[in-house]
Structure 1
Amino acid sequence: MNRAIVTRIAGLACAVLALGAAVPPAAATAAGRPRFGDAQRALDTLTAADGVVGALGELYVDGKRVGKGSAGSRLLDGKGGTVSSGARYRIGSQTKLMVATVVMQLVGEGRLRVDDTLADVLPETAEQDLVELADRITVRQLIDHTSGVPNYFESGKIDPLDFTTYVRPAHLVRLARGVPRQQEPGEKASYSNTNYILLGMIIERLTGHTLADELDRRLFTPLGMHRTYLPAKPPEGIRGPHNHGYLPDEQGGLHDVDRINASHLWAAGGVVSTAEEVSDFHRAYTQGTLLPPRLQEVIDGRKRPGPPDGERLCGGLFELREIVGGAPGFHAPTYVSADGRLQFAMSVTLSVRNDGVRPMVGQAAEAVLCPGR
């Protein structure tokens, strides 16, 4: 597979950007309540841009929806109508925060330690030479991307247009073994989806349940996220009406990648959710209802590889995290206030590469979160 396509697939990012000092979000009305921009208008503007097929978003404050919008079309060239703002979509690498939360819950239950090595908790990684230096890589290093384990997408052996061949997690790890390491464990943060494939395998080993079941049991059901799920095997995809994304090839042709192979993403970026329910998760996580502070610090204190802090929403007026997921055909950010009271969740489907879309999506978010700037 050519390098350009590999780069597009490897765009599963989980960037967290600290933006300025904490003050109330959005401009304030005379009554002191936040004033937000028109989400529908912002999304209409976004979908007018070349390469954006559809976009939806919902804004929540204290769990109550205060804005919503859906624009563009379900399919390419204006076809298929417009889905509701509550439609399901892939959240990409926002999945990683969910997986890390479950791992730390297992730590809290005494079933795992963050300084356990891969060889300790997944002996086959050493015995079958699936991971180089498995006896030195720790669970903590998998969570914070300092393990140095290469990204399996860089192997060039993942076909983004193969929607039917199931690839076992262990095989994804084996593909990464064929990519040269660039660092020693613990040296620096280097983003790799393989880290989270390994964490998913650890969850399944320790619990005896599938990762999908553990996410549902520990997170989705307790939080009332009844429309959220983890597809694990092809051809399972997004249930119900939803927007489609497209992958451009080298000749300029577009391929519908709505049926993206679930086994290629899995613990690294496979969850399907809605704007409301992904907001529910981020609110619960940020407000500390899923983990005690000492365990949450293992996740939040990590070095964060990914896009640089170059897009400061609202001029850096308030502290905001942007948690991003993406893959060929879609870009899915959620903007979360530091106190967990505010979430603006978006899904944008594309017919271009993801890297040119982020500034436009940031502008749409600014128009909603800080109107008039």
Structure 2
Amino acid sequence: MGQVGPAIAAPERVGSVQEAMDELAKVHGVVGAIGGAYVDGRPVGKGSAGSRLLDGEGGRIPADARFRIGSQTKEMVATVVLQLVEEGRLGVDDKLADLLPVVARKDLVERAGDITVRQMLRHTSGIPDWYAAEPNPDGSEGEISFDVFDFTTRYRPLDLVKWSRARPRTGEPGERFSYSNTNYTLLGMVIERLTGRSLAAELHDRLFAPLKMTRTYLPEKPPEGIRGPHGHGYYPDARGRLRDVDRFNASLGGAAGGVVSTAHDVSAFKRAFTQGRLLPPELQRVLTDRLPQTPPPPPGGGGGGGLCGGKLQGQVIGGSTAGYVTMTFASADGRRQFAMSATLSVKDISEPGRAMMKAVESVFCPSSSANPAGA
């Protein structure tokens, strides 16, 4: 996740979103791509390229289709946690062991009595990542703890936390940044324990409904898929065969990365968050003073360095797992957003990620010969 920079006036011209998606779909490993750009809440372009299914099958993905937003979910979950702080239901320096006694009682999180909400929000808790691949004895990357192609087994959040317990801590509480999905799995549990309601219900009532994110939801039960026509992602199995991973196991997403949304709805959230309409300034700074980096890091810049030769400052936030990568750019003044999703047929997301950054540049930093009308 990039840092939010100062609000600097941005170029008025807007390039073609459709052309940007056409270029993105040409990248090796991209099956389909969709995106939508907004200025002051007004759509200024949308586009779709590639296909819904592999090998050009299924027609184009509808430009307003739903997609999994991955780790962009974390900022939404963090917002709900801090709204609960504003309501006095917990504090940012409350200890994990007090908020979730079960993790201390069952020794599921080492140093649970020292780890704070603030540290989990900022990924400085030192809690290892349940999603990360376990290293092999020779130091090379091993296998992740779950089967990517198991769409039906229902894992409890505590099961995911337990997977991380055998792994070494990444540092002392508050010592340094180390990205870990476990932090947000635990924060989702905290939300549910404090409210007595599901995380899906809290996200809906606090964010999705008030912001009119009418096509956004958090799947809760495997093998719940994405509602409506949408793009399918693919992932190679142990034999190298590409397999459809459209029904990614919902119980492996949750607070760490489970939300399904659209370009319009993600942009509505980012606009409200950036403009300070969801949290008071002192609580928003808990996130913006040191933003957690969400995978993939913005390849090729676009965070603190700004776009358009530094004239457009903002934040890039991304998310990915088997079969897809998503990215949203939001300008620091809250006026401009550009959300994209690409379905994939490769493991390595670096090339699609770089192409997404180029797409942002082509839309919000068009050349003097670009069409100012958008697409």
Give the TM-score, by structure 1 length.
0.91
- The answer (yes or no) to whether the contact 2:161–2:185 under 8 Å persists in 1 is yes
Further displaced range: 236-245 or 363-372: 363-372
Partner of 2:138: none
- The answer (yes or no) to whether the contact 2:299–2:350 under 8 Å persists in 1 is no
Counterparts of 1:80-99 in structure 2, within 5 Å, are 80-99=58-77
* Cα RMSD (Å): 1.5
Which deviations, in whole Å up to 9, do the C-alpha atoms of 1:240-268 show, x marking residues without a partner? Answer: 00001111235432111111011111100
Which deviations, in whole Å up to 9, do the C-alpha atoms of 1:10-59 show, x marking residues without a partner? Answer: xxxxx12446x643323xxxxxxx11111101111111222111011111
Further displaced range: 222-231 or 348-357: 348-357
The question of 1:126 aligning with 2:109 is answered no
- The answer (yes or no) to whether the contact 1:329–1:354 under 8 Å persists in 2 is no
Q: Which amino acid aligns with 2:43?
A: R
Partner of 1:332: 326
Report the secondary structure of 1:347's partner residue: strand
Report the secondary structure of 1:93's partner residue: helix
User: Which ranges of 4 or more aligned residues in structure 1 deviate by more than 4 Å?
Assistant: none
The question of 1:254 aligning with 2:242 is answered yes
Counterparts of 1:309-324 in structure 2, within 5 Å, are 310-312=300-302, 313-324=307-318
Partner of 2:349: 354
Cα shift at 1:302? 2.2
Counterparts of 1:40-59 in structure 2, within 5 Å, are 40-59=18-37
The question of 1:371 aligning with 2:371 is answered no
Give the TM-score, by structure 2 length.
0.90
Report the secondary structure of 1:357's partner residue: helix
Cα shift at 1:364? 1.6
Cα shift at 1:121? 0.5
Which deviations, in whole Å up to 9, do the C-alpha atoms of 1:164-214 show, x marking residues without a partner? Answer: 000000110011111111311111000000000000000000000000000
Q: Which amino acid aligns with 2:277?
A: T
Cα distance in 1, alignment partners of residues 298 and 62 from structure 2? 32
Unaligned runs of 5+ in 1: 1-14, 27-33
Q: Which amino acid aligns with 1:16?
A: G
Task: Report how many residues are paired.
Answer: 351
Cα distance in 1, alignment partners of residues 59 and 10 from structure 2? 33
Cα distance in 1, alignment partners of residues 293 and 59 from structure 2? 37
Which deviations, in whole Å up to 9, do the C-alpha atoms of 1:259-315 show, x marking residues without a partner? Answer: 101111110000000100111111011111111101111111125345377423333
Partner of 1:342: 336
Cα shift at 1:83? 2.1
Counterparts of 1:6-155 in structure 2, within 5 Å, are 15-18=1-4, 22-26=7-11, 34-154=12-132, 155=134
Cα distance in 2, alignment partners of residues 303 and 296 from structure 1? 10
Unaligned runs of 5+ in 2: 135-143, 369-375
Partner of 2:372: none
Cα distance in 1, alignment partners of residues 299 and 244 from structure 2? 31
Cα shift at 1:81? 0.4
Cα distance in 2, alignment partners of residues 316 and 139 from structure 1? 34
Partner of 2:195: 207
Aligned residues with identical type, % of pairs = 58
- The answer (yes or no) to whether the contact 1:17–1:309 under 8 Å persists in 2 is no
Cα distance in 1, alignment partners of residues 152 and 128 from structure 2? 25
- The answer (yes or no) to whether the contact 1:118–1:137 under 8 Å persists in 2 is yes
Cα distance in 1, alignment partners of residues 232 and 172 from structure 2? 40
Aligned CA distance change for structure 1 residues 211 and 107 (closer, same or farther; 3 Å) = same
Q: Which amino acid aligns with 1:311?
A: G
- The answer (yes or no) to whether the contact 2:129–2:164 under 8 Å persists in 1 is yes
Which deviations, in whole Å up to 9, do the C-alpha atoms of 1:300-353 show, x marking residues without a partner? Answer: 112534537742333332111101111111111110010111100111111112
Cα distance in 2, alignment partners of residues 138 and 331 from structure 1? 30
- The answer (yes or no) to whether the contact 2:299–2:353 under 8 Å persists in 1 is no
- The one of 138, 145, 151 equivalent to 1:163 is 151
Further displaced range: 108-117 or 323-332: 323-332
Aligned CA distance change for structure 1 residues 73 and 158 (closer, same or farther; 3 Å) = same
Aligned CA distance change for structure 1 residues 53 and 17 (closer, same or farther; 3 Å) = farther
